[in-house]
Amino acid sequence: MKKHSVLGAMQPREFLSTYWQKKPLLIRQAIPDFQPPVTRDALFSLASRDDVEARLITNFNKQWTMQHGPLGQLPALTRKNWTLLVQGVNLHDDQADALLNRFRFIPDARLDDLMISYATDTGGVGAHFDSYDVFLLQAQGQRRWCIGAQQDLSLREDLPLKILRNFTPTQEFVLNPGDMLYLPPHYAHEGIAVGECMTCSIGFRAPSWQELGEAFMNFMADSVELPGRYADPGLQPARRPAQIGADMLGRVATQFKKLASRPDDIALFLGEYLSEPKPNVWYDAPQSPLTAGRFAAGARRRGLRLHRKTRMLYQGKFIFINGESLLPVAADRRLLQALADQRTASPDLIAAASTDLRESLYQWYRDGWIVLA
Ligand code: SIN
Ligand code: CO
């Protein structure tokens, strides 16, 4: 078994060909001796911050309520039936980031975040489905999962959260710490805490075609270049003045053909779009930054590491980092691709960087995107 495996004895290849986007899988002791990346108190403290996305879901007296963070005040621990969901824990905690990184047998472009839920006894978020794949890794205590492949995904109305109108589960499992349940998109499920518990959800991103298409049109709008202006030197007298003539339509169509996207446009758009940080992500610039010279000497001695909030991707000749794109020279490209894949760059690699790249690295350090290893 591989040192950092997350699928028990199963190899990623087998998981992807048999289960991924196809059917659920329960893996007992997917991560043996698993310890939650954060304590309950650390999770509560994250939920009270305004740069952290958190929700509190209660089901007291058979009434569902949902409250968005920051959540300074939580119900009493002795009270049953409430759940706290904290999104993007990987952005704020190294252990959580390390846990998410274990799932990098799935490309970064598809990995979203690590959500951690805390629930008191019988707490849960109700029977629902998600539009994305999810790994539900039990972190602490026990949770009972009921799941079903039902076609009827209609939701109850007038509730503050999405709850299935009819839920007819066909399987039930109680998960212990280290056990993990994988569910493909649109698989109905409900998790109920058996005593106090914490669950990690490893979530994925799959933008809708509509969302992607709209974002692409915005991207293209920024790069439109159509010099000149409408002109018709051969204009004939109008017999039907209100009609838009075929010649006008033709001239406009000819210009619009120049707007068609090229493969580079798609690669650039996709890389910038997918590496763009979420709106609530702020980078912490170093408070007393090193000078460029000291930073370069430190990087050559210790190497560099991407900050856990940094999203770095590449495609062909392009490199993308936190929503920006670069077109580096071939030698720098190899260095940057290694940094993106490994999320670290060794001193040897750094020593080979061009002057241009060293300047970019220093700027990224000043922006809090990378740190000395
Ligand atoms: C939870 O952890 O309580 C909810 C996770 C999910 O059902 O997707
Ligand atoms: Co769910």
CATH, domain 12-204, list 3.90.400.10, 2.60.120.650, 3.30.390.50, 2.60.120.10: 2.60.120.650
Closest CA relative to residue 316, chosen from 351, 271, 357: 271
Task: Measure 124 CA to ligand 1 centroid, in angstroms.
Answer: 7
Give the distance (Å) from ligand 2 centre to CA of residue 48: 23
Q: How far is the centre of ligand 2, averaged over its atoms, from the C-alpha of 128 (Å)?
A: 6
Q: Name the burial class of residue 121, with classes exposed (0-12), middle (13-18) and buried (19+) by CB atoms within 10 angstroms of its CB.
A: middle
User: What pLDDT was estimated at residue 5?
Assistant: 78
| Strands, E assignment, 73-232 | 82-86, 111-119, 134-148, 171-175, 180-183, 188-204
pLDDT the model gives residue 107: 97
CA–CA gap between residue 24 and residue 189 (Å, rounded): 11
Asked if 12-204 and 292-372 have one fold, the answer is no
CA of 4 to the centre of ligand 2 (A): 25
Q: Which residues are CB-contacts of 168 (< 8 A; sequence separation ≥ 6)?
A: 148, 150, 188
Task: DSSP letter for 158, please.
Answer: S
pLDDT score, position 174: 98
Q: Which ligand is nearest to the CA of 123?
A: 1
| Atom of ligand 1 lying closest to residue 190 CA | 7
Q: What is the model's pLDDT at position 1?
A: 42
Q: Whose CA is nearest to atom 3 of ligand 1?
A: 124
Question: Which residues are near ligand 1 (CB < 6 Å)?
Answer: 83, 117, 124-125, 130, 134, 189, 191, 199, 201
- At 3 the pLDDT is 53
Fold entry, domain 292-372: Malonyl-Coenzyme A Acyl Carrier Protein; domain 2 (3.40.366)
| Alpha-carbon distances, residue 330 vs 78, 138, 336 (angstroms) | 60, 44, 10
User: Where are the domains positioned within the chain?
Assistant: 12-204, 292-372
Phi-psi region of 323 (alpha: psi -120 to 50; beta: other; left: phi over 0): left
- Render each residue's pLDDT in the chain as its tens digit; 373 residues: 455 679 988 999 999 999 999 999 999 999 999 999 999 999 999 999 999 999 999 999 999 999 999 999 999 999 999 999 999 999 999 999 999 999 999 999 999 999 999 999 999 999 999 999 999 999 999 999 999 999 999 999 989 999 999 999 999 999 999 999 999 999 999 999 999 999 999 999 999 999 999 999 999 998 888 999 999 999 999 999 999 999 999 999 999 999 888 889 999 999 999 999 999 899 999 999 999 999 999 999 999 999 999 999 999 999 999 999 999 999 999 999 999 999 999 999 999 999 999 999 999 999 999 999 9
**Alpha carbon nearest to ligand 1 atom 1, residue:** 117
Looking at all shown ligands, the one closest to residue 191's CA atom is 1
H helices within the chain, ranges in order? 12-18, 40-47, 94-101, 209-222, 246-257, 263-275, 292-302, 330-342, 347-351, 355-366
Say if residue 368 is exposed, middle or buried (CB neighbours under 10 Å; 0-12, 13-18, 19+): middle
